[in-house]
Amino acid sequence: MDQERALLDLLGLLELEPVPDRGEGEHFLGPAPLEPSSPVYGGHVAAQALAAAGRTVSAGLDVHSVHASFTRPAVPDTPFEHRVERVKDSTSFAARRVCTSQRGREVFALAASFHRPEPGLAHQDPMPDVPAPEDLPTYEERLTKAFGAQVSPLGKPYDQRFVGPLSFDVEKDPSLASARTQVWLRVKGELPAGAGGERARLLHACLLVYICDVTMLETVLVRHGVSWFHANGRSIDYTVWIHRPFRADDWLLCAHETPVAAGGRGLVLGRVFTRDGTLAATLAQEGLLRVSGGHGQTV
């Protein structure tokens, strides 16, 4: 799958069909995921639900917080129905709740808040000093080096360039373990300058929610030196706060850290910077991580 096709397919996942006469709330039908993986990638469901919420909000109000809860594993080959509840509408704010279901069962819940930007106090932490993404190998090149065998492009709609070791590297060399990871991310391909019209910022927010979900739990495995060969995991809760505009098809640096893992769950906090050092978003995710092969000791 070339990058143009992958991007078009991703954008197609965010094209929702209104469903009339379904009772309380506003209902939208979202396409089933393209990949047959089970459970379905959580970023897919979260991005669609945010797109549904945004469809009901007045122009000029930008999403600034998204709180997602994965209540049941979603399955492939089945469309998602998103029911949007209008919790609040005012001049400055709008709040929405989204219940997402498959086959009549709730699989996901989202709460989103939208705000009309206004003048006020402003500050931010500085961006970490890291190599530029062009100076780093692709994820596939890193896997090729780790496995000693050629790994072909994975056909994903995003590109990722890790600054430090991957969990596969740390499993081989525990001295590389770290509670922090840094990765450059972007959607593959270039979106039109006016992509989405007045909804452009919502589109980029949906894409950010989609791509950032893919890298966060890796940080917990890097902390413990456990690779995905000996672990499986999925998102439980996922929160994104958006501070300033950005483009998801430009490189974004995601700086993650994991302060704790306990009870089979790992917590990861993250900050998202644009290339010019602007802190664009803050992330938090708790995931379920089950390990095998004698791994999982407290470190």
Residues 6+ apart with CB under 8 A from 77: 32, 36
Concerning whether 297 is annotated as a catalytic residue, the answer is: no
Concerning whether 285 is annotated as a catalytic residue, the answer is: yes
Concerning whether 175 is annotated as a catalytic residue, the answer is: no
Q: Are 254 and 283 in contact (CB under 8 A)?
A: yes
Q: Which member of 235, 250, 292, 297 is catalytic?
A: 235
- Report the distance separating Cα 165 and Cα 18, nearest Å: 44
- Report the distance separating Cα 220 and Cα 174, nearest Å: 13
Question: Phi and psi (nearest 5°) for 126?
Answer: -75, 155
Q: What would the two tokens of residue 172 be?
A: 């081989």
Q: Are 71 and 11 in contact (CB under 8 A)?
A: no
Q: Which member of 48, 160, 169, 213 is catalytic?
A: 213
Burial class (CB in 10 A: 0-12, 13-18, 19+), 54: buried
The SS3 of residue 224 is helix
Q: What would the two tokens of residue 187 be?
A: 């959607």
The SS3 of residue 54 is helix
- Whole-Å CA distances, 287 to 51, 82, 239: 23, 23, 12
User: Given CA atoms 8, 14, 18, 19 in this order, what sign does their dihedral have?
Assistant: positive
Positions marked catalytic = 213, 235, 285
